[in-house]
Amino acid sequence: MTIMLTNLKIFDGSGEKPFDGNIFIENDKIVKTGSFSAKADELIDCTGLCAAPGFIDTHSHSDLNVLIKPQLLPKIMQGITTEVLGQDGVSMAPLPVKYIDPWRKNLAGLDGDSNEVDWQYETAENYLKMIEKAQPSINECYLVPHGNVRMEAMGLINRAPDAEEMHRMKQILRRELEAGAYGLSTGLIYMPCAYAPTEELIELCKVAAEYDSVFVVHQRSEADTIIESMREIIEIGRKSGVRVHFSHFKVCGKKNWHYIDEMVKLLDAAQAEGIRVSFDQYPYVAGSTMLGVILPPWVHDGGTNKVLERLNDKTARQRMVHDIENGISGWDNFIDFAGMDNIYVTSVKTEKNKDAVGLSLTEFAKLRHKATYDAVFDLLYEEENAVGMVDFYGTEEHVKLFMQRPEMNACTDGLLGGKPHPRAFGAFPRVLGKYAREEKLMPMEKAIYKMTKKPAAALGIKKRGELKSGFYADIVIFDEKTIIDKGTFIEPVQYPAGVEYVFVNGCKMLEKGKYITAQKRCGRVLYR
């Protein structure tokens, strides 16, 4: 099958100026770009439109959805053709059978839960085979989640590993990297990842470095202790030799904004030293995660079942309130830096609390005629901790500052349940429409580079991220005059404007802005 795309303005992903020309596709590869003539099975006139490599989402939470809703419309409708799963150290695999029940509860707030899935797969290799069988519409990469590795090696206990457990973790990581994962991820505010001392992470990253794979990290703090947190991650890169990639880079809370200059200096110093550092960013002033992160760390010891026991204990609740109100050194206290008024419920598990979705914690408490802490603790208890949230923490100036950094590439970090953060539906068109076209923060070619070649290089994804001969035909055709995100925090589930065609491995998945339901889904699992 051959396809000829004609009369295009071509942004090839390199960051260089665009050029006018055509693109010739044969089967799953790009054969040629530029000014030429050729016969093809299908000819598509793209007059007035632009071409770019398919966008690469380096921080995704489609880990469960890819199995039950493999169309992945929130992603492909905004031009994403490849995404990276296994984020924040908490994902689907590996998953020993004996931990299925507690782990499903732990995972639910981030990636959801479903009885449609056979949870008996155990390893990343088997999980990736399930994705292949589901035939997603876009390409999928996987990171080995540190929390899953730790759980398989030593359970959900809160302590450092002994020598035998450390050896076992390294064996598990090797097994999963050999299965084709692109690197190691951790989320140092999530359990059980947060239990890991720095030395544990260094030892695991030494293994990752042997494969020249990447260490993707939600660091211990994005708030009060962010400088110490960044220093820890850079030290891990220094001592292990691993490539470091900070997830959703930012600083949370007005009282912490003064750290930004020092954060930038740390990035510059690391690069000067030869430590390979990159980061991704979603283009919004609010974040999104599981609501359970508002609870002090000790509440999570032993997993979700223990969380529920403590939420049901009056004395434990009093201690929770005390710790939230007074803080714990080194803990990112979301209620402190965002406030009850600026944290909104985005998803719940049961019908009973559907009316909470879209409300702030303050509004929800008023709805239930309860004190705010009681209402929130009751919600987490009744939903078995499977509650999603959005929190407002920053400013547009900070988004723009980090977006212009050379280490930055775009991502969604989009949770897909309930009433999600609008980034899940529009992060990439927002970068192009709002920041490149409207605000002229950077040229369009540079913005596209940060969504294509740059993330491919950061994660080590081969033969994608550029429009050039021999590369896979992952292509987005868009209107640079109209491309923009449409979702808002009030009505987030809206597909963007201006994305006209999307090709994945040479297959046309989107035509004139519409998903082609009759088309075979052509995404692949990509192996490192």
In one-letter notation, the amino acid at residue 91 is: S
Nearest alpha-carbon partner for 54 in 527, 442, 526: 526
Structure tokens at 370: 């309860």
230, 270, 389, 399, 509 from 81: Cα distances, Å:
31, 31, 26, 24, 10
Condensed to tens digits (0 to 9), the pLDDT of residues 85-101 reads 999 999 999 999 999 99
Q: What is the mean pLDDT of the chain?
A: 96
Closest CA to 307 of 195, 384, 196: 384
Contact by Cβ (8 Å): 270, 237: yes
* Contact (CB, 8 A) for 8 and 22: yes
Tell me which H or E stretch contains 117. none
Over the stretch 269-280, which tens digit does the pLDDT of each residue have?
Answer: 999 999 999 999
Mapped onto helix, strand or coil, the DSSP state of residue 326 is helix
Q: Is 517 helix (H, G, I), strand (E, B) or coil?
A: coil
Instruction: Indicate the pLDDT class of residue 417, thresholds 50, 70 and 90.
Output: confident
Q: Among 278, 234, 228, which Cα is nearest to 251's?
A: 228
Which residue do the tokens 């993330």 mark?
455
**pLDDT of 507:** 97
What's the mean pLDDT in 474-488?
97
DSSP assignment letter at 98: G
Give the mean model confidence (pLDDT) for residues 74-78.
98
Give the tens place of pLDDT for each residue, 308-321. Answer: 999 999 999 999 99
E strand map for 461-506: 475-478, 499-504
Angle between helix 226-240 and 260-273 (nearest 10): 10
CB 361 within 8 A of CB 343: yes
* In 191-305, beta strands by DSSP E: 214-218, 243-246, 277-281, 286-290
Q: What pLDDT is recorded for position 518?
A: 83
AA letter at 375: A
Q: Residue 332 has which token pair?
A: 């990112």
pLDDT of residue 160: 97
pLDDT at 109: 87
Give the tens place of pLDDT for each residue, 29-71. Answer: 999 999 999 999 999 999 999 999 999 999 999 999 999 999 9
Burial of 470 (C-beta count, 10 Å sphere; 0-12/13-18/19+): exposed
> How many contiguous H segments (helices) and E segments (strands) does the chain have?
18, 21
The predicted structure's pLDDT at residue 519: 85
> Which residues touch 279 (CB under 8 Å, ≥6 apart)?
245, 246, 247, 249, 402, 405, 407, 408, 409
Tell me the average pLDDT across 192-213.
Answer: 97
3-state secondary structure 386-417: CCEEEEECCCHHHHHHHHCCCCEEECCCCCCC
Residue 419 has pLDDT above 90, yes or no: no
Q: What would the two tokens of residue 388 be? A: 């999603």
Name the token pair of 157: 């206990």
Give percent above pLDDT 90 in the chain: 96
For residue 61, which of 312, 372, 395, 415 has the smallest C-alpha distance?
A: 415
CA distance linking residue 78 with residue 162, whole number of Å: 46
Give the up-direction half-sphere exposure of residue 263: CA atoms within 13 A in the CB hemisphere: 25
Triad 11, 212, 445: Cα angle to 5° = 10
pLDDT of residue 134 exceeding 90 = yes
CB 177 within 8 A of CB 144: yes
Q: What letter represents residue 34's amino acid?
A: G
Nearest Cα neighbor of 72 from 526, 462, 504, 511 is 504
Q: Which phi and psi (to 5°) does residue 59 adopt?
A: -140, 100
pLDDT value at residue 296: 95
Residues 441 and 99: their CA atoms lie apart, in Å, by 47
Which residues neighbour 152 within 8 Å (Cβ) at sequence distance 6 or greater? 94, 95, 96, 99, 168, 172
Compute the distance between CA of residue 248 and CA of residue 279 in angstroms, rounded to an integer: 7
pLDDT at 130: 98
DSSP-derived letter for residue 348 is: -
Instruction: Give the residue with greater pLDDT, 26 vs 518.
Output: 26
pLDDT surpasses 90 at 234:
yes
CB 42 within 8 A of CB 99: no
User: Please, are residues 428 and 79 in contact by the beta-carbon 8 Å criterion?
Assistant: yes
**Mean pLDDT, residues 205-228:** 97
